[in-house]
Structure 1
Amino acid sequence: MKGLFAVTEWITRFAYVNLLWIAFTILGLGVFGLFPATVAMFAIIRKWLRGDVDLPVFKTFWELFKKDFWKANGIGLIFAVISYLFWINLQFMQLNDSTFAQWAKIPLYFGMLVIALTLLYVIPAFVHYEAKMKDIWKNAFLVMLIHPFHNVLMILGIVVSTYIMFSLSGLLFFFGASFLGFIIMGTCYHAFMKIAEKQEALKKKEEEQTN
């Protein structure tokens, strides 16, 4: 019964934060609310992962939404520019059949894959690290680069979860954003913790050598 209650409690949490994500996205007129709401949702999921499961969700969501509104929209603007460049590259590759274009597809696809994987780490890195914006992007790229297993795990989780939720459309409304956010934030958080452990071990080793 305790296990069943715990599962029900977590289902309720995910559904509630997903509805808040939808509501605050609409509150920000969609375009301006999407990324602040997403950042707030990721920050709450991170707090859950750290064991703070009894936090006041609505109050915390609202405070985070206001606090990071402009920074989150700055991230959103960069995402939009990168998405537009992706679209231009895809159009170029589809419309151009020259030999050069065929050879250019390989590095273009590879570069787009690297950038897309980096984007998955940006918002988790933003809510996890207290750093300047340029350092957030640098950290996201470096973590993505040194943790290929996490990349694969994250992509598989996103694909499988998306397939299930589209197959059962009711799940998409209640868990579409929050559960995908949990997969992304959970995977990134594990990678961040692995890096922190390595840094701590290296620091201890250096201190031992100094002493």
Structure 2
Amino acid sequence: MKRLITSLTSMLNFIGHLVILNGLWLLFTLLGLIAFGLFPSTAALFAVIRKSHRSKSDLPLIKDYWFFYKKEFIQSNFLGFIILFFAYFYYIDWRHVQSLNLPYSLIGYLFLLCLLLISCTVFIYLFPIRAHYEIALGRAIKMSLILGLLHPFSTLSMLMIGGGLYYLFSTLPILFLFFGGSAYTYILMKSALMVFNKNESKLEAA
């Protein structure tokens, strides 16, 4: 009975922790007027979750979140600009391929799908790497691609979980307010840390 109560308490504390982090993620996103707050707030969320995962004591979440938010504000917005720029041109190319006739449209779709898969692989590792190693963006992109190639099954699992959560939040939008950012970030950060530990020597040489 005591073990059951302890397990339930730990689970409730964990859920409460995710809810608080998600609230901070939304608050600091709004603080940057969404357009300039989304990426710094996301970077701060990864950094705080990483720090919480490696620390066995309670952390001053708001203080830490504000610290990482300010620290990552410029670089993460620059990264966000690159992501949005790429997404815009990807959308334009996709629309262009739709206007082509066979077999050119099929070739175009295959090319864009491969490009999308590579891009998603880079993006899911990019924020965890930046939070863990604090390295330049160019090297972080290179390391993200290396990890994706070395661990295709882990990468695919992370992408599938993201798709599952997207479906869940689309079906029950209210859950997004409580776990929209923190749940997937926690999964990505924890999964990435496991991958990092297996590849320390390879990543240092990258």
TM-score scaled by structure 1?
0.88
> How much has 1:167 moved relative to structure 2?
2.8
> Where has structure 1 moved over 3 Å in runs of 4 or more?
none
Q: Distance in 1 between matches of 2:166 and 2:112?
A: 26
Unaligned runs of 5+ in 1: 201-211
**2:72 pairs with 68, 72, 86, which one?**
68
**1:193 pairs with 186, 194, 197, which one?**
197
Q: Distance in 2 between matches of 1:180 and 1:159?
A: 10
Unaligned runs of 5+ in 2: none
Q: Which residue of 1 aligns with 2:181?
A: 177
Q: Which amino acid aligns with 1:121?
A: Y
Q: Distance in 2 between matches of 1:130 and 1:67?
A: 11
Stretch of structure 1 that moved more, 101-110 or 88-97: 101-110
Residue 128 of structure 2 contacts residue 192 of structure 2 at CA under 8 Å; is this kept in 1?
yes
Q: Distance in 2 between matches of 1:169 and 1:108?
A: 30
Change (3 A) 1:52 1:73: farther
Q: Distance in 2 between matches of 1:51 and 1:169?
A: 32
State, as a whole percentage, how many aligned pairs show the same letter: 31
Determine if the alignment matches structure 1 residue 92 to structure 2 residue 96.
yes
C-alpha distance after superposition, 1:57-93 (max 9, x if no partner): 0000001001111011111011111111210121112
Residue 122 of structure 2 contacts residue 145 of structure 2 at CA under 8 Å; is this kept in 1?
yes
The count of aligned residue pairs is: 198
Q: Distance in 2 between matches of 1:112 and 1:191?
A: 22
Stretch of structure 1 that moved more, 89-98 or 16-25: 89-98
> How much has 1:52 moved relative to structure 2?
4.3
Determine if the alignment matches structure 1 residue 112 to structure 2 residue 103.
no
Change (3 A) 1:52 1:140: farther
Stretch of structure 1 that moved more, 125-134 or 96-105: 96-105
TM-score scaled by structure 2?
0.90
Q: Which residue of 1 aligns with 2:15?
A: 11
Q: Distance in 2 between matches of 1:83 and 1:4?
A: 42
The 5 Å alignment of 1:29-178 reads: 29-178=33-182
Residue 39 of structure 1 contacts residue 72 of structure 1 at CA under 8 Å; is this kept in 2?
yes
C-alpha distance after superposition, 1:125-173 (max 9, x if no partner): 1111132221111111111111101111102211222323333332111
CA RMSD of aligned residues (A): 1.6
The structure with the larger Rg is 1
